[in-house]
Amino acid sequence: MSKTLVFLEHHEDAIQKSSLGVLTRAAQLGGDVAGILIGSGVSELGASAGEYGAATVWIANDERLAPPLPQPRVDVLAQVVRDEGYDTVLFAQSVLTADVAAALAVRLEAGLNWDLTDLTAEGIGTRPALADSVYVDVGWSTAVRLAIFRSGTFDATPVGGSAELKEVTVDLEDFSTLAEMVEQAHAVQQGPSIEDADVIVAGGRGLGEPEKFVLAEELAQALGGAVAATRAVVDAGWYPYSAQVGQTGKSVAPKLYVALGISGAIQHKVGMQGSTVIVAINKDPNAPIFEFSDLGVVGDLHAIVPRLTELVRARRG
Amino acid sequence: MKIAVCVKAVPDAAGGRRIDPATMRLERSGELTISEFDTYAVEEGLRLKEAAGDGEIIVVSMGPERALDALRKALAMGADRAVLVTDEALAGSDLLGTSKALAGALEREGAEVVLFGQQSADGGGACLWSAVAEHLRLPVISQVSELELVGSVVTGKRQTEFGYDTIRAPLPAVIAVSDAINTPRYPSLKGIMGAKKKPQVSLGAGDVGGAAGTGTTVEGLSAPPPRGDARKIDDDGRAAEQIVDYLVEKRLI
């Protein structure tokens, strides 16, 4: 029977939904499934992991683990994997987990597959490649298998279990504590986070000017969704990086993705093509986004969107 | 100050990319060029050297022999010499093999600053630097959009999903920079002319501690599921209504 450990990333007193999604999938695959929370004052979060299918939650509580730095987390994970004999360690993709998983792979001499969109009970992962034009089935040749899943790949579904919480004794390597957090300047989240949203309205250059993002915001509000942006407009300073979708931003997979004035460059496509339904409005009939939209609308978004927002508001009351 | 910049030679994007169905590896037979993301790391290395007033920049890479041509762009930008780890025994390396080989080459150099770009332009997992730092047992700061070096302490501003973290580490350290950090310079004509004459050394697997096995396998390839009934309409003044109808039909509102 496989023994799976799921890394539970947390931020501001909540476990990331994408981590809980991976935990949900791990529990569906069966075997002995545990979660691990690494930080300071994280015991409180353990119970919620139980609801998503973890039988055990390892808790590593230490002041030195408070800042979200990767290297001390590698020490904790390596120790738990070795001491408890886990054969599979799963992560949801993030800036932090990429660094953690890669170093853990070296420490444990374990194969690491990343950017997966699924994993079977037989241990085969699905990895879309070349801008998702081909799916590669990947496997592992090592005793311990590490995998990073695209964020938003799995829905987090509570199954109503409860986890046994177990404390981990924290023992850190000297070199792991050389990097120190000086300051964390985290933008205050406005509205729902794009990774957690079921509906995303995204804006690109076609909005014309930064002030026109209000069109995306109003439509998002009407639909009960979040606002995202392309890299071009983030680079231009129209919208914050935290909202950027694409290769150098976040990967999202909402039920509905509405693209406003977005051409659909590959850089953007890889971050959002996992969306269930894609609706695109663009005045250029040849925009690449129409090649992977479910509903493509060729027209002036400045005329269409205000009317659309009004109609949605009226419908939803 | 010795600065190593790790770069990757990738297939020229203009040629289109494909996976060889026989080997199930990314086809890398065409013209190679330095990964665009790595030029930001080269530029940052040049800036650190210029700010310090002296120093040496070593471009370090792993790949086939013809990757040396691609490394010359970094030399043309101003890097001082290139080291290429190239060996048939290393072909098909995954993260474990690549990080070990690069770490072996870096150990020979003993650089105080090891720079990476934020990802490769092909099949990148955006995590190689962390694996290399683990081999070298050095501190790592990734996704750095601002870098400051004072004495032997480096401070980086790191972009995360939640905002910016400012992280400090003593040298030697491994730093992966984002493409928001600078605008890479174009090589000057003089730089291009001089690049060929700069020292370029090839190392074999034996020089970097031997080849490591791979930890991952490719089991097969398949076509992604097609999108269903895609529709495209031209706005005739009723587009907003049509979108609402569509969303209702799909039970999205």
pLDDT in tens, A149-205: 987 789 899 998 899 999 999 999 999 999 999 999 876 655 667 887 899 999 999
Q: Do B134 and A297 touch (CB under 8 A)?
A: no
A294 touches chain B (CB under 8 A): yes
Residue in B closest to A317 by C-alpha: B253
Amino acid at B183: T
Q: A273 vs B13, which has greater pLDDT?
A: A273
**Contact yes or no for A65/A73 (Cβ under 8 A):** yes
Burial B184-214 (b: 16+ CB within 10 A, else e): beebeeebeeebeebebeebebebbeebbeb
pLDDT, residue B14, reads 54
**Contact yes or no for B81/B210 (Cβ under 8 A):** no
Q: How far is B134 from chain A (nearest CA, A)?
A: 5
Residue in B closest to A267 by C-alpha: B121
Q: Residue A98: its chain B contacts at CB < 8 A?
A: 125-127, 130, 142
Distance, CA of A105 to CA of B130 (rounded, Å): 10
Tell me the β-bridge partners of A126: A118, A137
Alpha carbon separation from A240 to A209, A243, B65 (Å, rounded)? 14, 6, 42
Could you tell me the pLDDT band of residue B213, with boundaries at 50, 70 and 90?
A: confident
Could you tell me the pLDDT band of residue B171, with boundaries at 50, 70 and 90?
A: very high
Q: What are the two backbone dihedrals, phi and then psi, of residue A183, each rounded to the nearest 5 degrees?
A: -160, 145
Q: Residue B99: its chain A contacts at CB < 8 A?
A: 102, 106
Percent of chain A with pLDDT over 90: 76
Q: What is the mean pLDDT of residues A210-230?
A: 95
Q: How far is B251 from chain A (nearest CA, A)?
A: 10
Distance, CA of A245 to CA of A259 (rounded, Å): 11
Calculate the dihedral angle through the C-alpha atoms of A256, A261, A262, A263, rounding to the nearest 10 degrees: 130
Q: Do A186 and B163 touch (CB under 8 A)?
A: yes
Q: Residue A114: its chain B contacts at CB < 8 A?
A: 125, 127
B55: left (phi over 0), alpha (psi -120 to 50) or beta: left
Q: Residue A299: its chain B contacts at CB < 8 A?
A: 234-235, 239
Mind listing the pLDDT tens digit for each residue in A82-92? 999 999 999 99
Q: What is the mean pLDDT of residues A307-312?
A: 96
pLDDT, residue B95, reads 93
**Contact yes or no for A177/A136 (Cβ under 8 A):** no
Could you tell me the pLDDT band of residue B28, with boundaries at 50, 70 and 90?
A: low
pLDDT, residue B17, reads 66
Residue in B closest to A223 by C-alpha: B253
**Contact yes or no for A167/A35 (Cβ under 8 A):** no
Q: Are β-strands A125-129 and B231-234 bridged in parallel, bridged antiparallel, or unpaired?
A: unpaired
Of the partner residues B159, B164, B215, the one whose CB lies closest to the CB of residue A110: B215
**Contact yes or no for A267/A247 (Cβ under 8 A):** yes
Q: Do A98 and B217 touch (CB under 8 A)?
A: no
Half-sphere exposure of B90 (CA within 13 A, CB side): 27
3-state helix, strand, coil in chain A (%, to 5): 35, 30, 35
Q: Which two tokens stand for residue B6?
A: 């790790």
B249 touches chain A (CB under 8 A): no
Mind listing the pLDDT tens digit for each residue in A104-160? 999 999 999 999 999 999 999 999 887 677 899 999 999 999 999 987 789 899 998
Q: Do B163 and A242 touch (CB under 8 A)?
A: yes
Residue in A closest to B228 by C-alpha: A294
The candidate with the shortest Cα–Cα distance to A144, out of A112, A182, A98, is A112
Of the partner residues A102, A132, A175, the one whose CB lies closest to the CB of residue B127: A102
Q: Do B163 and A187 touch (CB under 8 A)?
A: yes
Q: B192 vs A267, which has greater pLDDT?
A: B192
Q: Which two tokens stand for residue B207?
A: 């020089």
pLDDT, residue B176, reads 96
Distance, CA of A80 to CA of A86 (rounded, Å): 8
Q: Residue A74: its chain B contacts at CB < 8 A?
A: 134
| Mean pLDDT score of chain B | 91
Residue in B closest to A245 by C-alpha: B161
Q: What is the mean pLDDT of residues A7-18?
A: 92
Residue in B closest to A147 by C-alpha: B216
Amino acid at B249: E
**B-contacting residues of A 204-263, CB under 8 Å?**
223, 235, 241-242, 247-248, 250, 255-256
Of the partner residues B19, B100, B159, the one whose CB lies closest to the CB of residue A241: B159
pLDDT, residue A192, reads 67
Q: What is the mean pLDDT of residues A53-60?
A: 96
Could you tell me the pLDDT band of residue B130, with boundaries at 50, 70 and 90?
A: very high
Residue in B closest to A232 by C-alpha: B180
Q: Do A111 and B94 touch (CB under 8 A)?
A: yes
Best residue in B162, B168, B181, B183 for a mutation probing chain A (most A CBs within 10 Å): B162
Q: What spatial distance separates the first Cα and last Cα of chain B, rounded to whole Å?
A: 61
**Contact yes or no for B184/B42 (Cβ under 8 A):** yes
The candidate with the shortest Cα–Cα distance to A181, out of B181, B150, B164, B113, is B164
Distance, CA of A126 to CA of B231 (rounded, Å): 28
Q: Do B222 and A279 touch (CB under 8 A)?
A: no
Of the partner residues A184, A285, A311, the one whose CB lies closest to the CB of residue B240: A311
Distance, CA of A208 to CA of A189 (rounded, Å): 24
> Is the pLDDT at B5 greater than 60, yes or no?
yes
Q: What are the two backbone dihedrals, phi and then psi, of residue A256, each rounded to the nearest 5 degrees?
A: -135, 130
Q: Quote the pTM value.
A: 0.87
Cα-Cα-Cα-Cα dihedral sign, residues B44, B45, B46, B49: positive
Residue in A closest to B17 by C-alpha: A130
pLDDT, residue A317, reads 72
A138 touches chain B (CB under 8 A): yes
